[in-house]
Chains A and B, each alone.
Chain A
Amino acid sequence: MGGSGSRLSKELLAEYQDLTFLTKQEILLSVHVVLAPHLVDNEQQARSGNEHTGKPIAENTNSSPLSTRAHRRFCELLPQEQRSVEESLLAQVPFEQILSLPELKANPFKERICRVFSTSPTRDSLSFEDFLDLLSVFSDTATPDIKSHYAFRIFDFDDDGTLNREDLSRLVNCLTGEGEDTRLSASEMKQLIDNILEESDIDRDGTINLSEFQHVISRSPDFASSFKIVL
């Protein structure tokens, strides 16, 4: 762990710590996770094996097999690619890799999350810094304000800045899943969206804008604890 820390320069690490809500440990862990993708698969297998037996994995990430293997792999990667650390940090990682992470794999909003945080012009890949942004917003210490801001953007499927009926119905379909028996019928959907708009649309214009969304969220104290992804 100390070795890989020297790969990521101290200034860069301190800068990331200043600009995001993540701790040093979390930043270093995400370096491993994003830039050593093959090991994510192995870790996944190991994890699912452990889950069946109900055994907890080694608690100290500093000594876990992932970080030592990742470190070695990372060292192997770097000289071959002949890229500096900064360049590799700016490399674009395609969505499939990010979506294969165990934390995001089963999430119904995974594509929206990747699209919202992507800064590439084609919006189909994430750089390492985008990934850090993602983790920062979903971390424990992020303020509810920033969480609700990004939640709004994730739920805004057509990216127009408001949640209209179309957005809301797509949202509910994401939440209830793909199965035929779990999808809501058209009349149920209409009743549901009417109820949501009645509760949250303050100025009665048929859409929910950011302020109304944040107002509704501020009344549910559970939001901050459920809008969390920990690596």
Chain B
Amino acid sequence: MLSDDHVNEIIIEVENVSSGVQSHPSSNQIFQEKVLLDSSINMVSSTSDIDVVDSQTVSKRNDQKGNQVLQFSTSLNESMSQTLHSLECMGIDTPGSSRETVQGQKLIASLIPMTSRDRIKAIRNQPRTMEEKRNLRKIVDKEKSKQTHRILQLNCCVQCLNSISRAYRRSKNSLSEILNSISLWQKTLKIIGGKFGTSVLSYFNFLRWLLKFNIFSFIVNFSFIIIPQFAVAEKNTLQFTGLELFTGVMAKYFRDNFINPHIYSGGITKLIFCWDFTVTHEKAVKLKQKNLSTEIRENLSELRQENAKLTFKQQLTRFSAYVMAWVVSTGVAIACCAAVYYLAEYNLEFLKTHSNPGAVLLLPFVVSCINLAVPCIYSMFRLVERYEMPRHEVYILLIRNIFLKISIIGILCYYWLNNVALSGEECWETLIGQDIYRLLLMDFVFSLADSFLGEFLRRIIGMQLITSLGLPEFDIARNVLELIYAQTLVWIGIFFCPLLPLIQMIMLFIMFYAKNISLMMNFQPPSKAWRASQMMTFFILLLFFPSFTGVLCTLAITIWRLKPSADCGPFRGLPFFIHSIYSWIDTLSTRPGYLWVVWIYRNLIGSVHFFFILTLIVLIITYLYWQITEGRKIMIRLLHEQIINEGKDKMFLIEKLIKLQDMEKKANPSSLVLESREVEQQDALHLGERDGSLDLRFRRSVQEGNPRA
């Protein structure tokens, strides 16, 4: 283990310090001891720091030895500078420069074997000033150049690879520079963040991310579907490229935010330590301070009342309120779905009798109205239900809204795939595409109306009529859900209408500006701290789980089970959509150059065994990771207990030491009276309020200091 090696080195340094101290005859015995213990304490407190740090570094993913050494040396550096500072305060001249270079040499020694890229990263990660980093780099480069004379000429293959990787990295850097310079809406987002904080900013970042994704999806669709159709009427089999690449992004988010054992709430500490530095508007800062104060007070009163248990009757009433609320909300959702289904069924006949062109918009209009009105009903439930933590309220509201939206989309998909596709209409795919397009458009119109009219009205009401309400706060959850809903519709529609990403792009673009203007005019900054990253994880999870997998299921059913229309579209005449791929494989198998594609298709994609083995491997890896997580949780608990126990041990030993010192003082009172007065004076002058912390550090590690020193 790292600490064992370095503990010995610490011992040496303690002895050096003590010899340095003893060379000054003016210091007295107790003073020297105190200094010695002080420095040993600082040294050894960094050892205990190392233990804690080590457990963290072990659990980190990139377990580079260099990182461990550097973290050790940073904590050592700290304690070194503290020792020197405290020694200086006591008026002792320290051989300080030699201390620093010894420790600096260790750092340099660890940096030399690294590759230059790692070295730059490591130096960058050091919490030092620019000057120190520059010197460090110079020294390391000098040492490295001394050493490279001894290294033989590298293998020319390795040189080749090096130059290739260097060129690749340079091109990547320049590409990212270019991308950064054309980054969209950078200034606007900074203003929003400055006035409203990171939580509202996360919504706009999400919007921007969706826009980028739609641009990408559109480019893919355009190049693979539209252009070939213009050129040659070829069958398209590559629609899923964009959607499949998405899975990779999902997996990364899951790994970073979900399989991380450390995410449990820090409660009140998080409020204190995580001040939002991005808020730069003066009024917003004052408001934030006021809100933070209120929230702290609320949290404190909650903590005081936490121990109050509810009576059985109260629990029963609360439970029945929950059940009733859930029953009612589910009932409302089901009723809405049924209404939408029957309306959709009626729609066809309705259209035949009424030739009004606006009549086709009836179904989308009703759906959008439902999406607008029912969430308001759900938020009324807040008056009936009482939750212990306001966070649960937000989650429950979100879950209900999601359930409503997903079930509406689900029922519409069912209607499309069951009724429209099998109805024998010509070009039923186009009909579905048009329906989706109308839904999207109506949803967009409603959002715009809500931003401009609805929120404006709410502001007028809040400011002029019922002034106690005040300005409304930006409801992040509702807005993100609307974005996800629109994106789900786009994904379903891509198969039937490949130009939908373009339309979604335009709509998102306009939506950004609309929401921005409305935000600036009608809203005030949020009053409660919003756990932005946890919520973003939740939203990405939403985007993936019901939304994306639902879309995949719908499209899977379409492709494998439905018969394409006889006259329209690139799949015309086939018995099933999937037969296009079958016939493509068949044509490929006649050409000798492409037999490997056929082999991949037949044995990997088409065979059950392969997927079975793949699933098994994934399950095994998941199980392994889960076991590792459990093991680390246990280790954290054990180390925690160990640290607490060590603290207790040290307290005990310190008290013993103090008792011994007192006995010594009493034994030789005369010779030490003068010096103890000096000590007291200097203590008062230089240690001052740091006495408390020094005492505690004093107490901390005498056990290690004494037997080894």
Contact = CB atoms under 8 A, between A and B. Distances in A.
Interface of A: 15, 18-21, 23-25, 51, 54, 56-60, 62, 102-109, 119, 129-130, 132-133, 138, 143, 145-146, 149-151, 155, 158, 160-162, 164, 166, 168, 171-172, 175-177, 179, 182-184, 188, 191-192, 195-196, 199-200, 202-207, 209-223, 225-230
Contacts of B644: 202-204
B263 interface: yes
A105 B48 CA distance: 39
Nearest to A19: B133
Contact of B516 (A54, A105, A119, A151): A54
A103 B281 CA distance: 8
Given A54-B521, A221-B534, A230-B278, A108 B268 contact: no
Contacts of A204: 644, 647-648
Given A25-B180, A107-B280, A177 B286 contact: yes
A22 B8 CA distance: 39
27 contacts: A19-B134, A23-B177, A59-B184, A102-B280, A106-B285, A107-B280, A129-B129, A130-B130, A145-B125, A158-B689, A172-B296, A175-B272, A175-B289, A191-B304, A195-B267, A195-B268, A195-B303, A196-B268, A202-B640, A203-B644, A203-B646, A203-B700, A210-B75, A218-B262, A225-B198, A225-B533, A228-B278
Given A130-B130, A133-B130, A175-B275, A19 B137 contact: yes
Contacts of A219: 262-264, 266, 270
A161 B129 contact: no
B190 A23 contact: no
A227 B273 CA distance: 10
A109 B289 CA distance: 12
Contacts of A215: 52, 56
A145 B121 CA distance: 13
Contact of A222 (B56, B289, B531): B531
B274 A107 contact: no
A221 B269 contact: no
B269 A199 contact: yes
Task: Select the residue from A200, A202, A222 with max chain B CB neighbours within 10 A.
Answer: A222
A104 B82 CA distance: 29
A229 to B, nearest CB: 5
Given A129-B130, A130-B129, A19 B275 contact: no
B643 interface: yes
B49 interface: yes
Contacts of A107: 277, 280, 285
B690 A158 contact: yes
Interface string B126-149: 010111011001000000000000
B251 interface: no
B425 interface: no
A159 B489 CA distance: 56
B191 interface: yes
Contacts of B263: 219, 221
B257 interface: yes
Contact of B280 (A19, A105, A162): A105
Nearest to A119: B129
B243 interface: no
A161 B268 contact: no
Contacts of B45: 209
B692 interface: yes
B181 interface: yes
A123 to B, nearest CB: 12
Given A56-B188, A161-B78, A205-B696, A217 B273 contact: yes
Contacts of A155: 273
B266 A216 contact: yes
Contacts of A21: 124
A23 B56 CA distance: 30
A95 B304 CA distance: 43
Given A20-B124, A179-B290, A230 B693 contact: no
Interface in B109-124: 120, 123-124
B181 A62 contact: yes
Contacts of B477: none
A27 to B, nearest CB: 12
B263 to A, nearest CB: 6
B185 interface: yes
A223 B273 contact: yes
Contacts of B533: 221-222, 225
A18 B186 CA distance: 24
Interface string B176-198: 01001110111110110001001
Given A160-B693, A211-B53, A222 B532 contact: yes
A7 to B, nearest CB: 19
A215 B185 CA distance: 35
A107 B286 CA distance: 10
A226 B293 contact: no
A218 B303 CA distance: 23
Task: Select the residue from A164, A216, A217, A219 with max chain B CB neighbours within 10 A.
Answer: A219
